[in-house]
């Protein structure tokens, strides 16, 4: 056996021993690196455009982490091939590396190993191995249906402004980006959807794609099975009610603080929940409007979805714990009680997420002293929540600041709790100490 073959075999043995979550993290990192190389190829870059590697890496990370933050405009710098690479990265990032991989195995007629099923279980955040292959097939089918319908409806708007070939491609790209909660666009000039501010059809189509993409595949499957709110699982009820409440509150706050139409306020309330599309310039919003968006971005979408943030269920659990403290009742809703483990995990997730955002914002403040604090905080939370909204400062950031945002997007996509716990493998202590109370508050 040659030395190279021995190294390959040793690497395979090493990967097989790794836990599923760690393999998923490594898979995302590998796809990001491959994507950055593909975006640097001459066939990907428009003639006359210049793409530095840090910008290609930033764009690839933003696509795989379904964020949408851009250091360079996707249409002005990348050819149709480069844009197709971006769309592929967004699709892989939204569905998950393992789901796409298992889907390809099934399409080729192969069998999915136990390791593959465990990876999918970890990626989709499900509790059982039962029906794993059927679940992956259903996820891919639902994605295809939503993106296909979104492309058709988007085409009705884009066909009015572009020739047929570009309108078709723009519609497909936009639908993929919207359903996967990624704010990329290929309209050029870093305009996002501002030219379509008053286009009701495109606004509502985009909102619908973002909404269902951010619900989570398990919730959509539960809705299909139950067909009524009363028969839904506790998890689905929590996700739906929290999502609707956040959309309503976000819309009212944005309408109250900004000179927006009701359509614009609703669109940004939906988009800020990890999609990153905008029909109004973010740099012109007031501090109150930006702070509203920061809160929505930090909470994010729901578990098992294409979005990021601390997730709606985490926010719900924390709010229920606050309510329980003052009402002396058990935290819960819909005649169900939340287990203490869920409350504890939600608290840890929120604390770790705040720690990531605070550290990232602190570094950005050091690296970009000439920029306003609210702009840097907005950029950091947008990266952590894998949103993609920006006040317009991304392209002017230094290399070190872009690296901070790259790391933040990666942590935000995988989850701070998940990512930190992957590399800590310590046995439970055998010694237990006596409990003693301390003064809290």
Q: What is the pLDDT of residues 219-231, one digit of tens each?
A: 888 888 887 888 8
DSSP string computed for 319-364: HHHHHHHHH-S-SEETTEE--HHHHHHHHHHHHHHHHHHHHHHHHH
pLDDT in tens, 6-25: 665 665 565 556 666 677 77
The answer to whether residue 135 scores a pLDDT higher than 80 is no
The phi-psi region of residue 285 (left if phi > 0; otherwise alpha if psi is between -120 and 50; otherwise beta) is beta
Contact 383, 409 (CB under 8 A): yes
pLDDT in tens, 58-71: 999 999 888 888 88
Average pLDDT of the chain?
Answer: 83
pLDDT in tens, 347-361: 888 999 999 999 999
pLDDT at 254: 94
Residues across the chain: 441
Q: Cα(first)–Cα(last) distance of the chain, in Å?
A: 65
CA 363 to CA 371: how far, in whole Å?
13
DSSP state of 285: S
pLDDT in tens, 282-308: 888 999 999 999 999 999 888 877 677
CA 130 to CA 132: how far, in whole Å?
6
CA 413 to CA 402: how far, in whole Å?
16
Place of tokens 């006040």: 391
For residue 376, give every residue at least 6 positions away whose Cβ sits within 8 Å of its Cβ, in sequence order, or none. 361, 364, 365, 368, 393
Contact 299, 310 (CB under 8 A): yes
In terms of residue numbers, what domain contains 105?
A: 8-126+138-417
Quote the tokens at residue 382. Answer: 């947008």
pLDDT in tens, 231-260: 888 888 999 999 999 999 999 999 999 989
Q: What percent of the chain shows pLDDT beyond 70? A: 82
Sign of CA dihedral 36, 41, 47, 48: positive
pLDDT in tens, 362-414: 999 999 999 999 999 999 999 998 888 888 898 889 999 999 999 999 888 87
Give the 3-state secondary structure of residue 1.
coil
Q: Is residue 220 part of a domain?
A: yes
Give the 3-state secondary structure of residue 109.
coil
Give the 3-state secondary structure of residue 167.
helix
Element (H, E) at 373: helix 373-384
How many domains are there within the chain?
1
CA 356 to CA 416: how far, in whole Å?
8
The phi-psi region of residue 332 (left if phi > 0; otherwise alpha if psi is between -120 and 50; otherwise beta) is left
Q: Is residue 435 part of a domain?
A: no
Q: Is residue 365 part of a domain?
A: yes
Q: How many CA atoms lie within 13 A of 321 on its CB side?
A: 15
Q: Is residue 437 part of a domain?
A: no
Band (pLDDT 50/70/90 cuts) for residue 171 is very high
Measured in degrees and rounded to the nearest 5, phi and psi for residue 336 equal: -130, 145
DSSP string computed for 177-204: HHHTT-----SSTT-TTGGGTT-HHHHH
CA 260 to CA 285: how far, in whole Å?
10
CA 353 to CA 132: how far, in whole Å?
30
pLDDT at 408: 92
Q: Is residue 440 part of a domain?
A: no
Band (pLDDT 50/70/90 cuts) for residue 429 is low
């Amino acid at each position: 056996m040659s030395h190279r073959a021995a190294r390959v075999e040793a690497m395979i043995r090493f990967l097989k021993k790794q836990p599923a979550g760690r393999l998923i993290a490594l898979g995302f990192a590998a796809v990001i690196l491959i994507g950055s190389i593909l975006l640097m190829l001459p066939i990907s870059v428009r003639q006359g455009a210049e793409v530095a590697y840090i910008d290609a890496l930033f764009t690839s990370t933003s696509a795989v982490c379904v964020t949408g933050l851009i250091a360079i405009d996707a249409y002005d710098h990348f050819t149709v091939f480069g844009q197709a690479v971006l769309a592929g990265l967004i699709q892989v990032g939204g569905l998950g590396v393992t789901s796409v991989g298992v889907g390809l195995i099934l399409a080729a007629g192969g069998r999915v190993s136990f390791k593959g099923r465990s990876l999918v279980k970890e990626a989709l955040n499900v509790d059982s191995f039962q029906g794993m292959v059927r679940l992956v097939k259903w996820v891919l089918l639902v994605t295809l249906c939503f993106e296909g319908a979104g492309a058709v409806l988007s085409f009705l708007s884009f066909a009015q402004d572009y020739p047929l070939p570009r309108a078709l491609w723009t519609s497909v790209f936009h639908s993929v980006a919207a359903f996967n909660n990624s704010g990329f666009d290929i309209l050029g000039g870093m305009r996002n959807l501002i030219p379509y501010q008053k286009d009701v059809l495109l606004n509502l189509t985009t909102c619908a794609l973002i909404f269902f993409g951010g619900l989570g595949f398990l919730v959509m499957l539960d809705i299909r099975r139950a067909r009524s709110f009363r028969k839904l699982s506790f998890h689905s009820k929590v996700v739906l009610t929290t999502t609707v409440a956040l959309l309503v509150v976000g819309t009212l706050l944005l309408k109250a603080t900004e000179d927006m139409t009701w359509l614009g306020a609703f669109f940004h309330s939906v988009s800020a929940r990890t999609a990153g599309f905008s029909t109004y310039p973010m740099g012109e919003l007031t501090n109150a409007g930006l702070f509203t968006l920061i809160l929505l971005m930090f909470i994010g979408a729901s578990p098992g979805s294409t979005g990021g943030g601390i997730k709606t269920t985490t926010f719900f659990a924390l709010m229920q714990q606050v309510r329980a403290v003052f009402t002396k009742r058990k935290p819960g809703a819909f005649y169900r009680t939340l287990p203490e483990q869920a409350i504890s995990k939600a608290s840890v997730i929120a604390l770790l997420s705040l720690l990531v955002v605070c550290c990232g914002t602190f570094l950005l403040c050091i690296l970009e002293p000439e920029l306003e604090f609210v702009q840097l905080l907005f950029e950091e939370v947008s990266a952590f929540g894998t949103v993609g909204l920006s006040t317009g400062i991304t392209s002017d950031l230094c290399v070190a600041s872009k690296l901070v945002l790259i790391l933040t997007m990666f942590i935000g996509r995988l989850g701070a709790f998940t990512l930190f716990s992957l590399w800590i493998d310590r046995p439970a202590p055998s010694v237990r100490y006596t409990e003693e109370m301390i003064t809290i508050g």
